[in-house]
């Protein structure tokens, strides 16, 4: 099964995609994580994308599509994938059509005040990528990952000004994609109105939605 998870920055895409893997076996492919890893390692890809990520702008389509193709190739033979952060433009969606068939779209809707509140207090494990929040999803030991003991850090683009720019980019470039997919691919909609909704509650709702369209049994 191949899924796309859509939602504004801070809507929980990465958190839910990781948890859905445990239930569905779908491997998360998170475009932003791939770019941040490349930057950390100082690869040619990392150098190419760093200015875009720092300012919250989109990386050019040709670069992103090339990376996606490679990743999907690596996951072949598995139980499918869940795309987080791709496609972000219509050109990317068109390219994806030639690469893989998508079975459903998970569409997360979250109001802007929740996004800003969440992202400005988000912390991420440098080692394994687990996500925390210093206000309500705290690690047991400050600054240390519960899962692997790695150090927690704050993303450079998780500052209020850049968060607001990322939301604008999402509304302008990525939201039109929902229209593009309507009628082509089944949707599972999930509305979040609660700042500190436990991730497991959200994941249970998403699984219910997938069950309704016949993609999940249990």
Q: Which residues would be at the binding site for ligand ADP (CB under 6 A)?
A: 9, 31-32, 35, 52-53, 56-59, 64, 85-86, 88, 92, 166
Q: Does the active-site annotation cover 155?
A: yes
Q: Write down the catalytic residue from 13, 19, 36, 123.
A: 13
Q: Does the active-site annotation cover 126?
A: no
Q: What is the largest distance, in Å, between two alpha-carbon atoms of the chain? A: 47
Strands 152-153 and 122-125: antiparallel
Structure tokens at 212: 């309704």
Rounded to the nearest 5 percent, the helix, strand and coil shares of the chain are 50, 15, 35
Residue closer to ligand ADP (CB basis): 31 or 104: 31
Q: Does the active-site annotation cover 13?
A: yes
Neighbour-count burial of 100, counting CB atoms closer than 10 A to its CB (0-12 exposed, 13-18 middle, 19+ buried): middle
- Least distance (Å) between residue 217 CB and ligand ADP: 30
- Least distance (Å) between residue 207 CB and ligand ADP: 22
- Least distance (Å) between residue 118 CB and ligand ADP: 10
Q: Which residues are catalytic?
A: 13, 88, 122, 155, 166
């Amino acid at each position: 099964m191949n899924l796309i998870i859509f939602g504004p920055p801070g809507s929980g895409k990465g958190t839910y995609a990781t948890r859905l893997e445990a239930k569905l076996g779908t491997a998360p492919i998170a475009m932003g994580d791939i770019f941040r890893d490349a930057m950390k390692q100082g690869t040619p890809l990392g150098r190419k994308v760093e200015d875009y990520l720092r300012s919250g702008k989109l990386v050019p389509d040709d670069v992103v599509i090339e990376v996606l193709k490679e990743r999907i190739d690596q996951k072949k033979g598995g139980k499918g994938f869940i795309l987080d952060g791709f496609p972000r433009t219509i050109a990317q969606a068109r390219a994806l059509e030639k690469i893989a068939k998508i079975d459903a779209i998970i569409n997360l809707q979250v109001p802007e005040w929740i996004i800003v509140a969440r992202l400005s207090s988000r912390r991420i494990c440098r080692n394994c990528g687990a996500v925390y929040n210093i206000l309500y999803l705290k690690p047991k030991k400050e600054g240390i990952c519960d899962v692997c003991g790695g150090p927690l850090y704050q993303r450079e683009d998780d500052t209020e000004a850049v968060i607001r720019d990322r939301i604008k980019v999402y509304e302008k470039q990525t939201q039109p994609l929902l229209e593009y997919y309507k009628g082509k691919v089944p949707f599972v909609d999930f509305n979040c109105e609660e700042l500190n909704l436990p991730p497991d509650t959200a994941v249970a709702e998403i699984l219910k939605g997938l069950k309704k369209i016949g993609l999940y049994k249990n």
